[in-house]
Amino acid sequence: MKFTACVFARGGSKGLPNKNIKIFNGKPLIAWSICQAKKIKDIKKIIVSTDSEEIAKIARDYGADVPFVRPKHLAEDDSAEWDSWKHLIDYLIKINDLPEALISVPSSSPLRSPEDIQLCIDKFRLGKFDSIVTATKSKRSPYFNMIKINENGFCEILEKNTKNKFFNRQSVPKSYDLTTVCYVVSSKFIINNNGLFEGKVGLVEIPEERSIDIDNEWDFKLADLIYLNSINEK
């Protein structure tokens, strides 16, 4: 199978300004994704999709291809990343270089290991799934201790089950929190669909210490502490 890794990194991060190029333990955040992907033999090409020339330069410095500037309408706060995936697929079709699947390694998860990426590839290779996502076990369950405000302004359990009443977390169905560690998605599936969960999705479970998704300054500081602690333990 032919795989292309991709990093979708726009320049207008609001939660953590300049997130993708912020220095995390000696390297810009986006460089961690590129360097991790370069360690996977199955990945023959790494493409960064960005609207920022600064991000593009750093990506090229670390060995990624940046063959185009992402259109502005695909880099707004409310732009759906799936549309950027389709944009990249359209480009790969035009240059006659369509891979079996795209492997997305977002820059917001620098604590992933190359082995996490490889596990996702191996599971995709089984041929059972249109896509593979990564997740950790949820600390809270939508069946037991996650709530929402209903249309009347009252609290209620997020996930209602009319057949069973759950009174403790041991009895509820397993639930997971999605992470941004890695996604593997069939190119044909991206072409023919409009969202990840329209198809058959497989899951690779990631340890909590490698699953943090950096979205703001607090996440960044926490990831930094986890990384330094892991270094000290070696």
Residue numbers of the chain with a pLDDT score lower than 50: none
What is the model's pLDDT at position 141? 86
Per-residue HEC secondary structure of 9-49 comes to CCCCCCCCCCHHHCEECCEEHHHHHHHHHHCCCCEEEEEEE
pLDDT (0 to 100) of residue 173: 85
β-pairing verdict for 176-178 and 131-137: antiparallel
What is the predicted pLDDT for the residue at 140?
86
Instruction: Say what the pLDDT of residue 39 is.
Output: 97
Give tens-digit pLDDT for 111-130: 999 999 999 999 999 999 99
Identify the pLDDT of residue 232. Answer: 76
Distance CA 26, CA 10 (A): 21
Measured in whole angstroms, the distance separating CA 213 from the mean position of its chain's CA atoms is: 8
Q: Is 88:47 a contact under the CB 8 Å cutoff?
A: yes
**For residue 162, what pLDDT is reported?**
58
pLDDT computed for residue 50 by the predictor: 97
Name, in order, each residue with C-beta under 8 angstroms of 208's C-beta and a sequence gap of 6 or more.
136, 137
Which pLDDT does position 143 carry in this prediction? 83
pTM: 0.91
